Amino acid sequence: MKTDVTLEEGVNILAGILHEPQCESVGLLEGLHKVLAEDLKSLVDHPSVDDSSLDGYAVRLEDTLRATPDLPVRLEVMGAVAAGSVPFVGRLEKDQAVKVFTGAPVPDGTTGIVMVENTARDEDSVFVYRPATEDVRKRGQDLEIGKSYLQRGQILRGSQIALAAAMGHSSLPVFKVPRVAILSTGDEILEPGQPLPPGGAYNANSYGLAAMLREMGAEPVILPRVKDDLDSIRQSFEAAKDCDLLLTIGGVSMGDRDFVRMLLEREATMHYWKIKVKPGGPPVCATWQDLPVFGLPGNPVSSLVIFLLVVKPALYQRFGVLEKAYETVTATALTPFKGAGAKTGMWRCTLEKLENGFGARAFGNQSSGVLRSMVQANALAVVPPQTEVGTGETLEVIRL
């Protein structure tokens, strides 16, 4: 078993033990927030014909070049075409026009469109007061049949769903959503709403992690909280065996009552323990009876930070997601940021917009038990090992 791995190693090892993603076909709306499992090609050209991008008259551009408000050009109107109607039969000849509406197929010979606002109608003629514009949308201008416009690994959001529909797809090949079980351990943990005795704490971690999983498109399964007891924890592990990953909270450090770590050491294949990062250093990564298990620290800040830095990137990596798991920017330190020795410091901070970029101001209390800091701060300042960052120096910042 490895100990004190780097963040990169921690992500790679966890991603490597996750199960192979399974594929399925779902309807368009059911694909929302899922990950595309293969490149998606257009089944159609769009537009399917040359059409008009505005309401007006289809014309030959050269016939309108002399048009002015004082000396309009007169054109003979040969017909009218609306979007979805039968195209105009025939070809535009000199000094002819066809009335068109947005999306209507334009006649052969059309090289321009005159906006309706720049015309006046007189029975079978139209007077053009300004030259036509090149507002003809060519066939295939947006989409060409057989060409891929959505790639494997893309997260499907509203724009991607719209594009898939425009390409003619009624269903989508996606990866099945990973089911992630969440198990909170500890005699002191109670569910919100219950009376809180002295020394007790509400189960904030489970709900925070479940929300973060839903945000990234995964399916959280919150297991009943268990006390610090090996048999109870083992039973919860059994209940999670149909999930793709089990996240445990608490019980992974070096104490006599860190039963999650004890159970894994006795019954699982241990891949690593501890990551060189602060806060959140003692997570454990293991496989228990073919179930990938990742043990998170019990302190709420540590738990959420390690999920963001390790669990989410590992899931993205395993599913081949093209996006980054989190966004980083470069900022100027507005306050000093201390180092964390041989570890990478991840200090909560406030990211501020400056005239020439961003500034980062350290949050006052960096205790891993101060959960409100994850709301009142909006970023994590990254301080490399054996480094301190002084005011005015630059550093990398992770947006929360």
Strand partners of residue 351 = 360
User: What are the start-end ranges of the H helices in the chain?
Assistant: 7-17, 158-166, 204-215, 230-239, 259-267, 300-306, 312-318, 373-376
Nearest to 112 by CA among 31, 36, 54: 54
At residue 284, the pLDDT reads 95
Cβ contact 283:320 at 8 Å: no
User: Cα(325)–Cα(312) distance, rounded to whole angstroms?
Assistant: 6
State the pLDDT confidence band at 259, using cuts at 50, 70 and 90: confident
Q: Which range, of 207-216, 251-260, 354-363, averages the lowest pLDDT?
A: 251-260
Measuring CA to CA, how many Å separate 94 from each of 15, 40, 63, 66?
A: 67, 44, 7, 14
Distance CA 134, CA 74 (A): 19
User: What mean pLDDT comes out for the span 239-263?
Assistant: 88
Residue 214 has pLDDT above 90, yes or no: yes
Contact (CB, 8 A) for 227 and 210 = no
Angle between the N-to-C axes of helices 230-239 and 259-267, in degrees from 0 to 180, rounded to the nearest 10: 70
pLDDT band, very low/low/confident/very high, at 96 (cuts 50, 70, 90) = very high
Q: Shortest CA distance to 307 belongs to which of 286, 340, 331, 279?
A: 279
pLDDT band at 229 (very low <50, low <70, confident <90, very high): confident
Average model confidence (pLDDT) for the chain? 95
**Which positions ≥6 away from 208 have C-beta within 8 Å?**
300, 303, 304
pLDDT score, position 227? 83
Alpha-carbon distance 222 to 184, whole Å?
9
* Region 61-69 average pLDDT: 96
Task: Give 240's pLDDT tier (boundaries 50, 70, 90).
Answer: very high
Cα torsion angle, 151, 152, 157, 160, sign:
positive
Region 258-273: mean pLDDT is: 92
Q: What pLDDT does residue 257 have?
A: 74
Cβ–Cβ under 8 Å, residues 264 and 270:
yes
Which residues 6+ apart lie within 8 Å of 210 measured at CB? 182, 220, 222
pLDDT tier at 258, thresholds 50, 70, 90:
confident
What is the band of 251 on the pLDDT scale with cuts at 50, 70, 90?
confident
Over 80: is that where the pLDDT of 256 sits?
no
Taking 80 as the threshold, does the pLDDT of residue 350 lie above it?
Answer: yes
Which band of pLDDT confidence, cut at 50, 70 and 90, is reported for residue 331?
A: very high
* Span 128-157, pLDDT tens digits: 999 999 999 999 999 999 999 999 999 999
Averaged pLDDT, 352-361: 95
* CA dist., res. 246 & res. 116, Å (int): 63
**pLDDT above 90 (res 189):** no
DSSP state of 310: I
Residues 278-299 have a mean pLDDT of 94
| pLDDT for the residue 250 | 87
pLDDT higher than 80, residue 254: no
Digit-coded pLDDT (tens) for 97-110: 999 999 999 999 99
In this predicted structure, what is the pLDDT of residue 9?
A: 97
Statement: residue 253 has pLDDT above 80: no
For 150-188, write each residue's pLDDT tens digit: 999 999 999 999 999 999 999 999 999 999 999 998 888
Place of tokens 């368009």: 28
In order of their start, the domains of the chain are 2-22+176-318 (3.40.980.10), 24-44+144-175 (3.90.105.10), 51-137 (2.170.190.11), 328-399 (2.40.340.10)
Query: Does the global pTM surpass 0.85?
Result: yes
